[in-house]
């Protein structure tokens, strides 16, 4: 896409992105752990089987063929809002070496485009307070607190 | 369940809960709008077809046969945390006339029980600051902000 510049391509996750380093990019966000290629494929197929539910996109750096950014939209169906749809933006990460190039904002706008297109009445996401300003730049507003219970 | 007392039963959502008032209870949380019984059934079947993904539970008041509480757990599959699962607690509501009877906390603990049992590494939810203390009583901690973009 022209907005992304000639050095990068934004596209859906492929099976081959296991080797292109998608999990290494996610390690910048949080714990990933050891995931075999077989387990990766299994989870990928789970998501792919759920048409219209999971949208995982990546940014590839053309020169290296490596994944440098990733993000997911999970579309939830509700009863409220006339059986409305809500898009959950999850697991946004950009490789450290590629930060400051506005790749994160490109991922969010692609996921916003998808959310709108599939009919979500809103997209939501959770973030730490120090990432709030990034999401404000993406057009998001603070809507309250995330609460969590770990098992 | 004994914890719930003899006047209420906690169980999965049934198709017949359309007539037992589940949507009226949700109106206490937010906009519900007009939902025909046909549309309700369609959304119910969408969720039911997704084994292990959507768990919608209700509390019924035995004396009236009416739904007085409702809550949903949506189980998300991720790559992070060794292809981990996260439970999203959504659309928690208790009928105004039944508030102050600890029914909300019963709904949350049932959804926590399910989340743990299906293997989620955590449950999360979004709430307004004025509901934070309720979720702290349920064993939840503040983990950051919810950001939203409406379409
Ligand atoms: C917008 C965004 O990317 N938010 C992520 C969320 O999607 C992810 O699931 C979580 C993992 O945190 P954890 O490792 O502490 O569970 O971190 C952030 O909240
Ligand atoms: C724990 C809980 O029940 N949180 C709910 C959330 O599940 C629901 O989707 C939202 C609807 O708000 P809206 O009508 O403004 O979209 O309200 C609250 O955040």
pLDDT at B127: 98
Q: How far apart are CA B130 and CA B143, in angstroms?
A: 15
The phi and psi torsions of B74 (rounded to 5 degrees) equal: -105, 120
Q: Is the dihedral of CA B30, B35, B37, B42 positive or negative?
A: negative
Task: Judge residue A125's burial from the number of C-beta atoms within 10 Å of its C-beta, 0-12 exposed, 13-18 middle, 19 or more buried.
Answer: buried
Q: What is the pTM of this model?
A: 0.97
Tens digit of pLDDT at every position of chain A (151 positions):
447 889 999 999 999 999 999 999 999 999 999 999 999 999 999 999 998 999 999 999 999 999 999 999 999 999 999 999 999 999 999 999 999 999 999 999 999 999 999 999 999 999 999 999 999 999 999 999 999 999 9
Can you give the pLDDT at residue A3? 77
Contacts of A117 (CB under 8 A, 6+ apart): none
- As for ligand 2, residues whose beta carbon falls within 6 Å of it are A 80, 122; B 29-31, 89-92, 125-127
What whole-number distance in Å separates Cα of residue B91 and Cα of residue B87? 13
* pLDDT category of residue B2 using cuts at 50, 70 and 90: very low
Q: Which residue of A has its CA nearest to B39?
A: A83
- Per the listing, tokens 């743990």 go with B116
For ligand 1, whether the C-beta of A103 sits within 6 Å is no
The two structure tokens encoding residue B18? 């359309």
- Taking CA–CA distances from B22, the nearest residue in chain A reads A79
- Name the maximum alpha-carbon separation found in chain A: 47
C-alpha A7 to ligand 1 mean position (Å) = 28
A44: nearest Cα among A56, A29, A60, A59 = A56
Give the list of residues 6+ apart from residue A135 with CB closer than 8 angstroms, or none. A108, A125, A127, B147
Q: How far is the CA of B80 from the centre of ligand 1 (A)?
A: 9
Q: B77 to chain A, minimum CA–CA distance in Å?
A: 8
How much distance in Å is there from the Cα of A104 to the middle of ligand 2? 26
Residue bearing the CA closest to ligand 1, atom 12 = A30
β-pairing, B85-94 vs A54-61, is unpaired
Instruction: Name chain B contacts of A91, Cβ cutoff 8 Å.
Output: 78-80
Q: Is B140 helix (H, G, I), strand (E, B) or coil?
A: coil
Mean per-residue pLDDT over chain B, rounded? 97
* Euclidean distance between CA atoms A141 and A114, whole angstroms: 19
Nearest atom, ligand 2, residue B128 CA: 19
CB contact under 8 A, B22 and A142: no
What is the whole-number distance in angstroms between the Cα of residue B127 and the centre of ligand 2?
7
Among B25, B26, B29, name the best residue to mutate to test ligand 2's pocket (greatest count of ligand atoms within 8 A of Cβ).
B29
Distance between CA atoms of residues B127 and A145, nearest Å: 5
pLDDT score at B3: 77
Give the pLDDT confidence of B67-78 residue by residue, as tens digits.
999 999 999 999
Task: Give the Cβ contact number of residue B130 at 10 Å.
Answer: 8
Rounded to whole angstroms, how far apart are CA atoms A59 and B49? 33
pLDDT digits (tens, 9 = 90+) for B88-98: 999 999 999 99
Q: Find the ligand nearest to A93 CA.
A: 1
Atom 7 of ligand 1: nearest residue by CA position:
A90
Residue pLDDT, tens place only, A32-59: 999 999 999 999 999 999 989 999 999 9
The predicted pLDDT at position B125 comes to 98
Q: CA–CA separation, A141 vs B76, rounded Å?
A: 23
Given this model, what pLDDT does residue B142 score?
98
């Amino acid at each position: 896409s022209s907005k992304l510049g000639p050095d990068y391509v934004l596209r859906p996750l492929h099976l081959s992105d296991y080797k292109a380093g998608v999990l290494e990019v996610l390690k910048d966000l949080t714990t990933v752990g050891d995931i075999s290629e077989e387990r990766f494929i299994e989870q990928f197929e789970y998501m792919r089987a759920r048409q219209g539910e999971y949208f995982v996109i990546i940014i590839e750096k053309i020169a290296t063929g490596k994944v440098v950014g990733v993000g997911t939209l999970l579309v939830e169906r509700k009863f409220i809002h006339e059986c409305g749809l809500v898009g959950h933006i999850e697991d946004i990460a950009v490789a450290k070496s590629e930060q400051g190039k506005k790749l994160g904002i490109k991922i969010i706008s692609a996921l916003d485009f998808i959310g709108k297109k599939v009919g979500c009445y809103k997209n939501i996401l959770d973030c730490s307070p120090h990432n709030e300003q990034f999401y404000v730049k993406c057009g998001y507003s603070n809507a309250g607190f995330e609460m969590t219970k770990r098992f």
